Structure 1
């Protein structure tokens, strides 16, 4: 007969401290303790110090918000981006992730799908969890959601702390390239007008294009400027409009690579040879640009470098250092097979 042996007794794990424990030790209500921990205004300094002392004594400091209020860091950088799958966003994140890993920080990416309610929900979470926040392609006033809570750096817009490429110079390079090839009928496909940062970047590229064409005595007339939305579908749609003009352009510059790839697709569908009958130029030099049919001439922004610089600037702000925002990152023209001389004039 086998003896039954009782298992050794094991002490239960300690019960995690609760908000009620903090409030009881500090001699305040749970609401007051919560307000202090979440950084709500209106608390006296004496009350704030009692609550923070109770947080330390009870171990409730394990909560990320309390840990930051107690002078400790979460070692987490939050990223708020419009959506995954956008090549611009993906390239920036490569650089941001590398810089975060080099600094021993974690990177958490949250997307909003363009929904304001989701944006506010994500922002509230990051205010609690993150030491700092990187906003990629902010649509408007997202940085105000974090004001006074955590440091913020933006990518793709002009704010007190931001990283961006030299968009106007990129447009100028495109104009000079196309003029040197002999083009006189050059069209431009804009980015979306509804989002501030997209509109400003698109307009800067257009401004550089106009300035460069003007150097060669060439105009950019209204019929040669088409609405776009930074997507391949939008670029294809805009290209069809331009190619249906009585005197269609011999070259199209799209405000980003996705739209330019849409132009290539439209040209193929219309039986227009690229570059024999139409030259196409994009912007950003994302990975898909080199895989276009034909490979796409484009303006390169150093997106991974920009993402890394954004995180390093953010880490300075987290440490209490006010860094000088970097100047616009240089842009360079990458010439591939989608541009060539215009076709000879028809007789």
Structure 2
């Protein structure tokens, strides 16, 4: 076991922590090492004492490893690649390595990841589309391992460092573009209902319709999963309605690709028969035919800012803001046109 260092004014031993917490020394050791076999209430009590005494762990007197943990809910696709590039660009310039992990599609990393991080002791962690629960946050905070969330799944609160984008405005921009072209039957295919950015994009869509004097038709509001498969499934259902939409706002570019696939199957031509707007502005948006009108989300810049923020926090710097939502813009291409109805 490594050596444990406490501020001189409050130097205590693990035994004293155990006594104050009313647990055994081995239990405190398990908490210190991130072991999963500790009751949640017990872990919280020990973590509180660790924070109160200003605990810092130093393995054999060495500083934290010059690395950053980059965690995704699920790896794969151009969306993840853009973020990885942004993180690696800053990390390389700072002489820091990047360790990639994924949560297997879950919104939170498993306890095994927490234990691995506590053993590696990186400079910090960046979580993409993956949040921490209160217990996981406490474990990292007690070891002075800072973390930053990119595109939070839920409302993480003002005290959690997070980098996002103006999702509500993005949804509004996409929908306003379609209403300006004369479309009145405009559908939306969002992401999962429990994901914050999806709800915000759909809310922006709803606000734009109402601002244009249009009624929100519940039949045109669909829940997807940001995937090609989900976009294809929901687009087929929309386009087979008795009164189908003439335009679809897809809450991700991958969803939009699924819409393209559904349109081809139903022998509909984009944009003559159906206008489509995506979200993200991935490189593929310019490579499909017709090229995709989409909301540009600055993924690369978001990743750069998250990396600089977590490195600043690891050095004890106080950032000017813990939460940043970057501006988005509409990239008009060939997949949208005026409604001729």
Tell me the distance in 2 between the aligned counterparts of 1:201 and 1:329.
13
* Structure 1: gaps spanning 5 or more residues: 1-18, 53-63
**Residue 187 of structure 1: how far off its partner (Å):** 0.4
CA 1:37–1:71 in structure 2 vs 1: closer, same or farther (change >3 Å)?
farther
Q: CA deviation at 1:112?
A: 2.0
Q: How far did residue 218 of structure 1 move?
A: 1.4
Change (3 A) 1:92 1:37: same
Query: What is the rounded CA distance, in whole Å, between the counterparts of 1:168 and 1:284 in structure 2?
Result: 13
Counterpart position of 1:122: 113
**3-state SS of the aligned residue for 1:188?**
strand
Match of 1:307 in 2: 303
Q: Deviations over 1:118-151 (max 9, x none)?
A: 7221221012211211111015626455342311
Structure 1 residues 272, 72: closer, same or farther in 2, change over 3 A?
same
* Cα separation, partners in 2 of 1:209 and 1:36, compared to 1, 3 Å: closer
Which residue in 1 is equivalent to 2:148?
A: 153
Q: How far apart in 2 are the matches of 1:161 and 1:296?
A: 33
Corresponding position of 2:183: 183
Question: Which residue of 1 is the match for residue 165 of structure 2?
Answer: 165
* Change in 2 beyond 3 A, CA 1:144/1:21: closer
- How many pairs were matched up? 298
Q: Alignment partner of 1:245: what SS?
A: coil
Checking the alignment, whether the CA contact within 8 Å between 1:164 and 1:306 is kept in structure 2 is yes
Partners in 1 of 2:272 and 2:192 — Cα distance?
A: 29
Which residue of the partner structure matches residue 316 of structure 2? 320
Write out per-residue CA displacement over residues 181-222 of structure 1, whole angstroms, 9 at most, x where no aligned residue.
Answer: 1111100001012xx4xx211111111112122222112210
Q: How does 1:176-255 map to 2 (within 5 A)?
A: 176-193=176-193, 196=194, 199-255=195-251
Cα pair 1:295 1:337 within 8 Å, conserved: yes
Deviation at residue 71 of structure 1 after TM alignment? 6.4
TM-score, reference length from structure 1: 0.77
Q: Between Structure 1 and Structure 2, whose CA radius of gyration is higher? A: 1
* Contact 1:65–1:128 (Cα < 8 Å) also in 2: no
* Equivalent residue runs for 1:11-90 within 5 Å: 38=33, 41=46, 66=59, 70=61, 72-90=63-81
- Unpaired runs of 5+ residues, structure 2, are 5-12, 16-24, 35-42
**Secondary structure of the equivalent of 1:214?**
helix
Question: 1:73 Cα deviation (Å)?
Answer: 2.4
Shift of 1:89: 2.1
Whole-Å Cα distance in 2 between the matches of residues 114 and 327 of structure 1? 25
Equivalence for 2:338: 341
Instruction: Specify which of 281, 289, 294 is matched with residue 293 of structure 1.
Output: 289
TM-score (norm 2): 0.79
